[in-house]
Each structure stands twice: as C-alpha cells, then as structure tokens.
Amino acid sequence: MIHSRLGLADADSDAQLLHRVIEILSAGLDLDGVVQRVADLITETTSTDVCFVHLLDEPRGLLQLRGATPPFDQFARRIELPVGDGVSGWVAAHCEPTVITDNKRADPRYLYIPELRGEDFTSMASVPIITRPGDLVGVLNVHTRDRREFTKADVELLSTVAGLMAGAIENASLQSKLAEREAAMERFAEQIVLLGETERRRLAGEIHDGISQRIVSLSFHLSAAADAVAADPAGAAEQIARAQELAAGALDETRQAIAGLRPPVLDDLGLAASLESLARSIPLPNVAVDAVTTDLPEHAETAIYRIAQEALQNVLKHARAEHVQLRLSVVAGAVLLEISDDGVGFDPASAAGRAGPVGYGLPGMQQRAELLGGQLTADSARGRGTVLRLRVPVAPGH
Ligand SMILES: Nc1ncnc2c1ncn2[C@@H]1O[C@H](COP(=O)(O)OP(=O)(O)OP(=O)(O)O)[C@@H](O)[C@H]1O
Ligand SMILES: [Mg+2]
C-alpha cells in the first residue's frame, strides 16, 4: 500500500495517483466499475480514510452514491440526495470545492446520513466532478478519521482526479444512452411489424365480412337470374337489379377498406382541411378547429390524422364534453397537435397500464407517435377535462 499524503510536495506520488487513475479510466470498464475503482484507489494511495463518489442523475435533480470505499460500497445506488442538500449537494449546486476541517455538524450545509457514519470522520474535502465543457456529472468526497488540514494543493489534486473521471463518466453515460436508443429502434421495428399486422387483419376482416359476403350473394342472384331469364324475364330483371345493388355495395366497401389504409381525404385536401372535415364528421356539438397548413411526409400526415381520429372518438365515447378544440400548429422544429375537451377526464396513469391490442386506443396512438419520433402525452384528471398533445419533430428542410 502506498501512503502518500494528498497533494503533499511529493510530486512523485501525485503523478503516480494520476497515472493509476488514467490506467483505470482506459481499462474500458463500465461506469460503476470505473467509479468504484477510482474510489478504492484514492483511499489506497492518499492519507484519507474513505472516498465517496456521487453521480448526478440530472433528470431527477439528485446525487446518487455510486462508488465508495468498502464497507460503504454496499450503499452504492441506495443513497440519494437532492442537489442543494448536504455538503455534496452544495458543492454540486455551486460547482465549487469545499473543505471542512472539523466540527461538520456546526456547518449549516451538513446533512447527517446515518449509513455513511459521519460521526466516525472528522475532516472532509469535497470537489465537483466537471467535464471540460463545464457540465457537472457528480461530486467526489474524501474523509479522514483524524483532524486534517486539506491544503489548496490537496483540493487541486482531487479536482484533477475528478476532471479525469468526468470524461469517462460522460462517455459511459453516452454509451448507455446509445444502447438505449438502439433498443428503442428495435422496439420501433417490432411495432412497425405489429402495426402492419393489425392493418392486414383489419383489411382481411373487412374483405371477409363485408366484401366477399356481398359477392357470394351477388353471384347467387345472378344464377337465379340466369335460370329465370327464359321463363320469367321480369323475375330475372329483379334478380339482376338486386345483383347490381350488391355490386354497388361491394364497391363502396372496397373503397372504405382502402380508405382505411390512407384516408383519401388527405390526398384530396391536405392535412389541415382533412382535420377540419374529420372534426365535422364526428357528432359532437362544439368542435373548434384551428389547423395551419403543414408540409409533412405522407406517413406523418396519416399518423397525425389517425391519432386525431382516435382522440375525437375517445372524446365522443368517454368525455361527455361540451366543448372540444382541435389545434394543429407549428412550433420551433415541431408540429403540435392538441385535442382538448372539457369533459369528465380520466387518470392517464391507470389507462396507460391497460394492455390494449396493438394499433388501437391510447397504446396505438402512443405507438404511432413513437414511430414518428414524436411524443404523445395525455394531460387529464377526473373532472378536469383532457388535453392530448402530440409533438412531431420536423426534419430540417421540411
Ligand atoms: N377524452 C377522454 N375523456 C375521458 N376519458 C378518456 C378520454 N380519452 C380516453 N379516456 C379514457 O381512457 C381509456 C382508454 O382509452 P382508449 O382509447 O385506449 O380505449 P377505449 O377508447 O376504451 O377503447 P378503444 O380500444 O376502442 O379505443 C378509456 O376507456 C377512457 O376511460
Ligand atoms: Mg379509444
């Protein structure tokens, strides 16, 4: 075991510590591995007794303990504190190091965390872990049992170690984001297949139940007409008239089945006017439509139209609303569809848990939104109406 003092005028051991940190960082370990090894190394090579590494969980605004000198490593990922709370939280919030030489409890920033046994340690130094571009990724702390002055050089050495770690932490988190994106792409691919499957099933159903039934009856009437044509021309004419009706009906249903794939109104009128016509076709009393003209790829128009259709169907079926508003607008880099009603509302959290068949209802809308790289949110509460928002990013040039 090497016992240097942190930042002692002994430049050799400082250099050695940094050298070993770099070795760990370049060993290609995962994030937790890196953090834990650095914590071990700091305790091993400096005259401090414990080292804690807290990483920032930015979306939640929390610092999470991720690496610590044993036995405290057992609390990794189990201790969290909000940025701003405790000494580490203060260091994170201010992005500046701090040293407490003794009497921590007198420091207004100090927060006692029983698991970390603050009473066993006297002095501490805490430095922010900051990347080159200046983003905070965590906080590095060292504690000593005995009272100890941390010099400016000590703090500088710790900051250097933290700076080296910052890049590795950022890389590891980028890598896990990349892996997450890759998994999302795979899910999207599955959803595309499922949506295609759903469309095919719908089409098969329509052909089977509507169109082919009519063609069967139609050929039945034609046979009857053929049999009657010599002996009973009037009866034959009647059978032929019935057959004509059925042919017209089958043609109608064929059109409808195809329209189900891409609403023809989109090609005829464009998205904005299609949404207006959709809103008019739904038997709801007050539907206000405010839709701007957009320039979106066909599949995006179809998805937006289908989502609006299902949203309005939901208002009709569930909301008991007096007023409904449908808005299509263009905001920075995105197209925004909003359907709001002043109806009974619902609890989106419990509706989201419902495992609906793919392609229908809220889960289907969600999937269509995800396939567009967009986001769909339902903002609702019982008795407070519902706002459904779809945000679709627009590629530059569109
Ligand atoms: N605008 C709304 N107002 C009130 N409740 C709503 C609204 N939209 C959805 N809901 C609630 O959310 C639930 C889920 O909606 P979803 O569209 O997924 O299913 P559904 O309409 O019941 O069935 P379907 O699969 O035929 O669409 C509904 O059953 C309803 O309780
Ligand atoms: Mg529905």
Tens digits of per-residue pLDDT, 254-274?
A: 888 887 778 888 988 999 999
360 lines ligand 1 (CB under 6 A): yes
Task: Indicate whether this model's pTM tops 0.95.
Answer: no
- Distance (Å) from CA 383 to ligand 2 centroid: 18
Token reading at 221 = 């009437």
Domain containing 298 equals 264-393
Residues of the chain with pLDDT under 70: 1-11, 352-360, 396-398
347 lines ligand 1 (CB under 6 A): no
For residues 305 and 238, membership in a common domain is answered with no
For residues 199 and 177, membership in a common domain is answered with no
Nearest ligand to the CA of 355 is: 1
CATH of residue 359: 3.30.565.10
Distance CA 37, CA 24 (A): 7
For residues 292 and 255, membership in a common domain is answered with no
For residues 250 and 303, membership in a common domain is answered with no
Nearest-atom index, ligand 1, CA of 317: 21
Does a structural domain hold residue 159? yes
For residues 119 and 230, membership in a common domain is answered with no
For residues 193 and 218, membership in a common domain is answered with yes
Does a structural domain hold residue 6? no
- Distance (Å) from CA 210 to ligand 2 centroid: 23
Does a structural domain hold residue 1? no
CATH of residue 244: 1.20.5
Among 158, 181, 204, the domain boundary falls at: 181
Among 181, 208, 225, the domain boundary falls at: 181
Q: What is the pLDDT of residue 13?
A: 78
For residues 234 and 325, membership in a common domain is answered with no
**For ligand 1, atom 20, which residue shows the shortest CA distance?**
361
For residues 55 and 119, membership in a common domain is answered with yes
Q: What is the pLDDT of residue 184?
A: 83
Q: What is the pLDDT of residue 69?
A: 95
Q: What is the pLDDT of residue 10?
A: 62
Does a structural domain hold residue 5? no
Nearest ligand to the CA of 381 is: 1
- Distance (Å) from CA 314 to ligand 1 centroid: 5
> Domain count of the chain?
3
Does a structural domain hold residue 190? yes
Angle at 169 between CA 168 and CA 173, to 5 degrees: 115
**For ligand 1, atom 8, which residue shows the shortest CA distance?**
314
Among 259, 287, 313, the domain boundary falls at: 259
Angle at 392 between CA 181 and CA 314, to 5 degrees: 110
Q: What is the pLDDT of residue 355?
A: 53
Q: What is the pLDDT of residue 1?
A: 39
Q: What is the pLDDT of residue 8?
A: 43
- Distance (Å) from CA 364 to ligand 1 centroid: 11
CATH of residue 147: 3.30.450.40
Does a structural domain hold residue 382? yes
Nearest-atom index, ligand 1, CA of 345: 4
